[in-house]
Structure 1
Amino acid sequence: MIDIKINDELELTDDKFLMIAGPCSVESEEQILGVARDLKKIGVNVLRGGTFKPRTQPESFQGLGEEGLKLLARAREETGMAIITEVMDEENLPLVEEYADIIQIGSRNSQNFSLLKAVSKYNKPVLLKRGFGNTIDELIGSSKYLALGGNKKIMLVERGIRTFETSTRFTLDVSAVPVLHEKTEYPVLIDPSHPAGINRYVEPLAMAGTAAGADGLIIEVHPNPKEALSDAAQQLTVPEFMELYDKIKRITEITRKNII
């Protein structure tokens, strides 16, 4: 597996397990700083938070844009956490790259090849989510676009695919973990929040992905999910995440990985 240097403090290697957590969207200074402090105390070193949000309905909350990026930077300055946020288009790529330690490519942009080629010109870690209608080979093809500029600091994420099953938001393809490990040299993370769609399913999906050999998790955590402006139903509270973190820690002891 390729080693991914995130910043001066963090490096994802074969014996490490990367825990990424934070709210779906950056909503306010109080919200993002509060949850960042809580997550740092638990042991999380990478904070997620959407600032440009790809929403199905135009009237839904679209994110705070640059103001959200500034709030993430403030959280990094206070806690020392690295920050990851999604880029949606080439226009905002330079702005996102200026602030983010890790650039996220969301599922809807997994095959936005012009964006992938633009991101490939930057030398920053990139987290690439599998599109919910994409095969594993199509995800690998997208990773090749990201590597065009020579940047191999790529993390692949299984976040559920759309199938005939409707009891969950998406169907988590746990088998993608060993298959991607076999076919690529990149770390493979699991996003249990989006396939779950409901917070009570997040824990078992996260545990299943970890046991399958994933190299990390990216989980949505909100100080008060009922008041969240996006993805309210699937976000964990801080106490719920703390309980999950302890369980994941026990599983990673079996898989011989240390949480970073």
Structure 2
Amino acid sequence: MKHSLDILPLKSWIDTGDKPLIIAGPCSAETEEQLVSTAHLLANTGKVNVLRAGIWKPRTRPGEFEGIGSIGLEWLKRAKEETGLLTATEVATAKHVEEALAAGVDILWIGARSTANPFTVQEIADALQGVDVPVLIKNPVNPDLSLWVGALERVNRAGIRKIGAIHRGFSSYEKTAFRNEPMWDLAIQLKTIAPDLPIINDPSHICGNRELIPYITQKALDMDMQGLIIESHIDPSVAWTDAKQQVTPAALADLLDHVSVRRAESNNPAFEDKLAELRQQIDKLDDQIIKQIGDRMKIAEKIGEFKRDNNVTILQVNRWDEIVQKRVQLAKALSISEDFAVKYLELLHNESIRKQNEIMNTNSPAEA
């Protein structure tokens, strides 16, 4: 997949030195006192660059708290004046964009539900024409890289060059420890096709609970993400929305004190030489693996021919179960995760089925 993004690097619109960008604040602006007090505590940590707060809250069902509305923008303005923090909020309509900009909000973000709807993104993009404001775009609710890239492109084509992505995880039917599955591979794919695009991680929405936030925070930084957006409330126990995933400003400061920020590159020639040597070994093994997969597929084709000539179905469930059981057991013995082993085997199996299906629907030489 190619992209056509014309973007400015993060440091050109917010300079955090050699540290990651930290955006923090309550999930929702609830009262003026709650927001301003939280802002002061965050500013006092000396670790936060931007104050975030939800003014308009898209809720799954009507009747839930849907945000304090436009009055909250005045509270953000006061918090900025008193603390010096930049401010950020989510926008989902053209009217939201106009009101947020009129109130002097510094950074806008587009939420996951909005990213999933190209009509909504285009409406927001149209409202941004001629404006010079940073815009961050969350990944869509479901794992669809094209939707994510499409939203970035729509906003970029409106003339917004200060643009970034927020990785907040994806919905999954499977029950896991996370509220939203990280699916790091999709974030990596985005980084691969748009290397200059700043990606900000959202541990709060990935985790859904504050206990897991340190783990995801460290992993995000290790994946070379350029910042974090973490929900922080003066008293999470009484938060009106997403209470379980918010942390106090003091807890946030402690968390940031204990994560390691590693360099993306090294200037040590000895390190680079050793890394190059190890990468050569990886390349050699990858070539061997691909060749062996090719050999495996040739055998799969022969099996397909044999099944066709003997009028036997492609799928043999018992054989597939046997393969999974034996190979997963071997993978575990080699310290390879069961999840990876199963996914790898499924990919191999699907390709084998595809090749056998081609063979089965081609006449044998004797029938031609």
Fold-level similarity (TM above 0.5) = yes
Q: 1:48 aligns with which of 47, 52, 62?
A: 52
Q: CA deviation at 1:128?
A: 0.5
Q: CA deviation at 1:172?
A: 1.1
Give 1:239's aligned residue.
250
Q: 1:198 aligns with which of 173, 196, 209?
A: 209
Contact 1:177–1:212 (CA under 8 A) maintained in structure 2: no
The structure that is helix-richer by fraction is 2
> Secondary structure in 2 aligned to 1:21?
strand
> Secondary structure in 2 aligned to 1:47?
strand
Give 2:300's aligned residue.
none
In structure 1, distance between residues paired with 2:84 and 2:158: 29
2:223 counterpart letter in structure 1: A
Give 1:57's aligned residue.
61
1:174 counterpart letter in structure 2: W
In structure 1, distance between residues paired with 2:54 and 2:38: 14
Q: Does 1:181 align with 2:191?
A: yes
TM-score (norm 2): 0.64
Q: Deviations over 1:133-160 (max 9, x none)?
A: 1422321111000011222111101101
Contact 1:105–1:129 (CA under 8 A) maintained in structure 2: yes
The structure that is strand-richer by fraction is 1
Which stretch shifts more, 162-171 or 207-216?
162-171
Give 1:227's aligned residue.
238
> Secondary structure in 2 aligned to 1:93?
helix
Give 1:137's aligned residue.
146
Give 2:159's aligned residue.
150
**The structure with more radius of gyration:** 2
Give 2:8's aligned residue.
2
In structure 1, distance between residues paired with 2:48 and 2:197: 21
Q: Does 1:82 align with 2:86?
A: yes
Q: Deviations over 1:27-76 (max 9, x none)?
A: 11221111111111112120000011111121111111111110011000
Give 1:92's aligned residue.
96
Q: Give the count of matched residue pairs.
A: 251
Give 1:209's aligned residue.
220
Give 1:118's aligned residue.
126
In structure 1, distance between residues paired with 2:127 and 2:112: 15
1:56 counterpart letter in structure 2: T
The change in CA–CA distance for 1:51 and 1:157 in structure 2 (over 3 A counts) is same
Q: Does 1:27 align with 2:30?
A: yes
> Secondary structure in 2 aligned to 1:11?
coil
In structure 1, distance between residues paired with 2:101 and 2:78: 16
**Structure 1: which 5+ residue stretches go unaligned?**
none
In structure 2, distance between residues paired with 1:134 and 1:119: 27
In structure 2, distance between residues paired with 1:6 and 1:12: 10
Q: 2:40 aligns with which of 37, 40, 50?
A: 37
TM-score (norm 1): 0.90
Give 2:4's aligned residue.
none
Contact 2:22–2:228 (CA under 8 A) maintained in structure 1: yes
In structure 2, distance between residues paired with 1:98 and 1:134: 34
The change in CA–CA distance for 1:69 and 1:203 in structure 2 (over 3 A counts) is same
1:40 counterpart letter in structure 2: A
1:173 counterpart letter in structure 2: M
Which stretch shifts more, 129-138 or 37-46?
129-138
